[in-house]
Amino acid sequence: MESPYYLTTPIYYANDVPHIGHAYTTIAADAIARYQRLNGRDVFLLTGTDEHGVNIERVAASQGVSAREHVDRIARQFDALWSRLDISYDRFIRTTESAHHRAVLALWQRLQASGDLYRATYAGAYCARCEAYYQPDELDRGLCPVHALACDTVAEQNWFFRLSRYQDALERLVRDTDFVRPTSRRNEVLAVIRDGLRDFSVSRRQVRWGVPVPEGTDEVIYVWVDALANYLTGVGYPDDSATFERYWPADLHLVGKEIIRFHCLYWPALLLSAGLPLPRQVFAHGWLTKDGKKISKTTGNTIDPSALAAEFGSDAVRYYLLRATPFGQDGDYTRAGFLRLYNAELANAFGNLVQRATVLAHRHAGALSAEGAACGPELELCAEAEKLDSRVTAAFETLALHEAVAAVGEFVTAANRYLQVTAPWQLAGTGDARRLGVVLRHTLQAARLAARWYAPIIPRAAAEASRRLGVTRVEVGPPLFPRYSC
């Protein structure tokens, strides 16, 4: 029996409503989870919201509400979006939960016991949106390198973590294993390590909204230490040792490329210090732009994933995000590109295959039981079917999600081509029930196989297709994907 499979999205910062980037990461994680479950794995998918820090305090104050009221509202919106997009998570964690506070404090105690925490004074640039300090050489023309905004100037005494102690161990981890993927991100992390790792501050004095440092000081634990600990909390640490031992270490942390420093350097160092096993892999995907421009609420260049799902259905959103961009690279969303993929590959290809297969089988049900020999077209279709399983498996196992989607799509194209070559609508007129039966059975089986492998990608349509293509009774329904005008 295969071991359990534990994967995570980042927990999303609850400063604002969810956007298409959040949807991209979470849909990818859900597709991986569904694929693993399809293969019989015991899967645990964790997502949630990161709800502490000075930026939350500031946003809530600007809206005239408490920090608690603000994060409660944002968490509900994230959860509602995941429901709309058919995200099959096993736990939605919030860092304001009491269980998570216990996990953060348990981790803190381990860090203290290791001797890796010490008092020092920090003075320099701090980005409230990143919740991160930056050295002068890390700034971009004096601005935050992620948000291109001015940083606060901060000077205060904090607790620091001895990241520098783990310089050699982290270099070996990143250089000699597949801990960081894809290769471009791995190289970025190695460059940071080789520049020399600096100890970093793990507490904040001028913040109230967070997990208090246990020594009775007026400090809270740094939000990134707090947030990263969610991966432990999610599977029972420190309260439920049986669940924790079952699922930890995580098989995969799926993150955006902007937070690789925290996940690929801070996180493994904290775990090494705490004496806890390291996750097996961190995969950092690229960013999405819209119409070639950065997605920005300020400029109005945004995409509402909930509105997109309401217009086209959750499957269409999932399909586009998984298909349009090689996973790991940056991608650009355009409405025209969305509609082209939808019509060509969902409506005209998979939807059309299911519709033709069910209509023909229902109309000529008597021929399904007629025995006949397979010919050249059937052998070619079966050869394509035999290749499909290995192609999809290889793509998912290497997280080449776009290749998995493309592989199923190419098989669907082969099945539609088979229909054109065999022309069962013409066979029905000849009275050759045996040949017609062979063609109908192969068409149905091809459509069932496509639905099976599309299940992690477009779960609603795949489930409905499988229902209509049932082994004992075939049903006809409306088009799975109505066509849209471009």
DSSP conformation letters of 254-294? EEEGGGHHIIIIIHHHHHHHHT-PPPS-EEEE--EEETTEE
Please tell me which residue in 253, 257, 290, 297 is annotated as part of the active site: 297
Q: How far apart are alpha carbons 52 and 397 in whole angstroms? A: 34
- Angle (CA) 109 115 121, round 5°: 95
Annotation says 19 is catalytic: yes
Q: Is 285 among the catalytic positions?
A: no
Catalytic status, residue 253: no
In DSSP terms, which residues pair with 140 in a beta bridge?
143
**Residue 375 a catalytic site member:** no
Annotated active-site residue 290? The verdict is no
Beta strands 252-256 and 5-8: pairing type? Answer: parallel
The secondary structure of 417-463 as a DSSP string is HHHHHH-HHHHHHHT-HHHHHHHHHHHHHHHHHHHHHHTTTSHHHHH
Q: Which of 130, 151, 364, 402 is catalytic?
A: 130
Question: Which tokens hold the place of 141?
Answer: 């023309």
* DSSP-assigned letter for residue 301: B
52, 70, 101, 144: the catalytic one is 144
On the question of a cis peptide bond just before residue 214, with omega within 30 degrees of 0, the verdict is no
Out of 52, 70, 101, 127, the active site residue is 127
Active-site residue identified among 19, 100, 101, 364:
19
H-helix or E-strand containing 50?
strand 43-50
Strands 200-201 and 152-161 come out as antiparallel
DSSP, collapsed to helix, strand or coil, labels residue 371 as: coil
364 is catalytic: no
CB atoms near residue 286 (< 10 Å): 19
Interacting residues of 347 by C-beta distance below 8 A, sequence separation 6+: 479, 481, 482, 483, 484
Does residue 297 carry a catalytic annotation?
A: yes
Going through 217-372 in order, the beta strands assigned E by DSSP cover 220-221, 252-256, 282-285, 288-290, 293-294, 331-333
DSSP-based three-state secondary structure for 72: helix
DSSP string, 82-129: HHHTT---SEEEETTSHHHHHHHHHHHHHHHHTT-EEEEEEEEEEETT
Residue 324 contacts residue 405 (beta carbons within 8 Å): no
144 is catalytic: yes
Query: How many CA atoms are closer than 13 Å to the CA of 128, on its beta-carbon side?
Result: 14
| Catalytic residue numbers, as ranges | 19, 22, 127, 130, 144, 147, 294, 297
